[in-house]
């Protein structure tokens, strides 16, 4: 088996990074925040595009911040004239969305042959293109619903590994807290393992 060199952008949890490490690959998580996965030796705490320049990566998996890109954000923008009293606040929000779109597209256009970008259903389906697939945690052993899009470059669709029942939107019911956004952004272990096994096998068999 060839040891792959993998960069997991915008991941402080290290769930995906450690799943690849468990299979013998050289994977690094990357975020502006310190890691919470317990392995700072595998974490590149820096701008993701600076991290990209450090090595010639075989695979990039990216989790760009979805705050301004989701369907819920679409509704917020549709209601903007009613909900905002200040034009400057509204313009700042619009600018933030445009910056988020540019960030997403900068990842798309990186010089790497194999890229997977994860984000909830949202504006990138129209501003870029429809995702290659939409996955759910219940397809990978977790009894929950959370539709997640994957935009893929040089990679196959993920194959469900363990379809289960008992589906609920647990993460959407989390009480407000300073850690809520971080908890909601963590990749489910079953999905992380599917990334590692299926993408690792695919690239090794090319």
For the cut 90, the answer to whether the pLDDT of residue 184 exceeds it is no
Domain count, the chain: 1
Residue range 127-173, pLDDT digits in tens: 999 999 999 999 999 999 999 999 999 999 999 999 998 677 665 55
112, 105, 149, 110: which is closest to 128 by C-alpha? 105
CA 20 to chain centre: 15
More confident residue, 94 or 118: 118
Range of the domain at 91: 5-204
Q: Which residues contact 112 (CB under 8 A, 6 or more apart)?
A: 52, 57, 58, 59, 60, 153
Alpha carbon distance 113, 124 (integer Å): 21
CATH of the domain at 189: 3.40.50.150
Nearest to 73 by CA among 30, 115, 117, 127: 127
The candidate with the shortest Cα–Cα distance to 15, out of 161, 181, 188, is 188
10 Å CB burial of residue 152 (0-12, 13-18, 19+) is middle
Per-residue pLDDT at 91 exceeds 90: no
Q: What DSSP designation does 143 have?
A: -
SS3 118: strand
For the chain, what is the mean pLDDT?
87
Rounded Cα distance, 140 and 192, in Å? 9
pLDDT score of 72: 53
> What is the per-residue pLDDT for 71?
56
138 within 8 A of 160, measured Cβ to Cβ? no
pTM: 0.86
Bridging pattern class, strands 59-62 and 115-120: parallel
Burial class (CB in 10 A: 0-12, 13-18, 19+), 130: exposed
Residue with tokens 């450090």: 54
pLDDT at 89 over 60: no
Q: In Å, how far from its chain's centre is CA 100?
A: 13
């Amino acid at each position: 088996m060839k040891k792959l060199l993998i960069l997991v952008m915008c991941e402080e949890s290290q769930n995906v990074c450690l799943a690849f490490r468990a299979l013998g690959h050289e994977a690094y998580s990357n975020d502006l925040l310190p890691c919470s996965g317990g392995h700072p030796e595998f974490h590149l705490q820096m701008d993701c595009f600076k991290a990209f320049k450090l090595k010639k990566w075989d695979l990039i998996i990216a989790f760009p911040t979805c705050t301004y890109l989701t369907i819920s954000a679409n509704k917020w923008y549709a209601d903007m004239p009613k909900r905002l009293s200040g034009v400057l606040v509204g313009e700042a929000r619009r600018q933030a969305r445009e910056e988020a779109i540019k960030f997403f597209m900068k990842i798309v256009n990186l010089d790497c042959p194999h890229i997977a970008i994860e984000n909830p259903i949202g504006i990138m389906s129209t501003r870029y293109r429809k995702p290659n697939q939409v996955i759910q945690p219940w397809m990978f052993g977790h009894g929950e619903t959370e539709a997640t899009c994957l935009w893929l470059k040089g990679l196959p669709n993920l194959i469900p590994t363990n379809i289960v029942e008992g589906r609920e939107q647990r993460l959407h019911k989390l009480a407000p807290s300073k850690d809520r956004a971080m908890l909601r952004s963590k990749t489910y272990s079953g999905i992380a393992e599917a990334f590692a096994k299926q993408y690792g096998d695919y690239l090794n068999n090319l």
